[in-house]
Amino acid sequence: MDVTIKTEGNKHFVTLNGRLDTTNIQQFTEDIAPLMSGEIANIEIDCSGMSYTSSQGLRSFLTLQKSAESRGGSVVMTKMQPNVKQVFDITGFSNIFKII
Partner 1 sequence: MSNPMFKIKISGNQESLGSRISFSVLAVAGAIFLAALVVVMYYSNSFLIEDAKQNVSNQLTIAASSIDHNLLAVETAIENNEWLVMNSLDDEEKLYEITRKIVSDNEEICGCAIAFKPYYFQRRYFFSPYSYVGADSLIYSKQLGTEDYDYQFMDWFQIPFLLRKPVWSEPYFDEGGADVVMATYSYPLIDTWGDVFAVMTADYPLTGIVDLVNQIHPYENSFAFLVSRNGTYVAHKDTSLIFTHTVLSNALDQGYNELYEAGLDMLNSGIGYREMRMKGEGNKYLSYMPLHNKWSMAIVNSDMDVLGRSYIMLFIIIALMVFGLVLLYIFTRQSVKKKLQPLVLFTEAANEVAKGDFKYALPEVKTKDEMRTLRDSFAYMQDSIVKYIADLKETMGAKERIESELRIAADIQRGMVPSVFPPFPERNDLDIFAVLSPAKEVGGDLYDYFIRDNKFYFTIGDVSGKGVPAAIFMAIARSAFRYIGASAESASDLMTKLNDSISQGNQSNMFITMFAGILDLATGDIQFCNAGHNPGVLISPDGKAEYVEVKNNLVVGVMDGFPFSGQSMKIERGSTLLLYTDGVTEAENSVKELYSEERLQAFCSNNSFDTGEELIGALVADIKKFTNGEDQNDDITILTIKLK
Chain residues binding partner 1 by CB under 8 A are 22, 54-56, 58-59, 62-63, 66, 89-93, 95-96
CB of 87 to partner 1, least distance (A): 9
Instruction: Output 7 or 67, the one with its CB closest to partner 1.
Output: 67
Instruction: Output 28 or 93, the one with its CB closest to partner 1.
Output: 93
CB of 99 to partner 1, least distance (A): 14
CB of 14 to partner 1, least distance (A): 18
Instruction: Output 59 or 79, the one with its CB closest to partner 1.
Output: 59
CB 34 within 8 A of CB 43: no
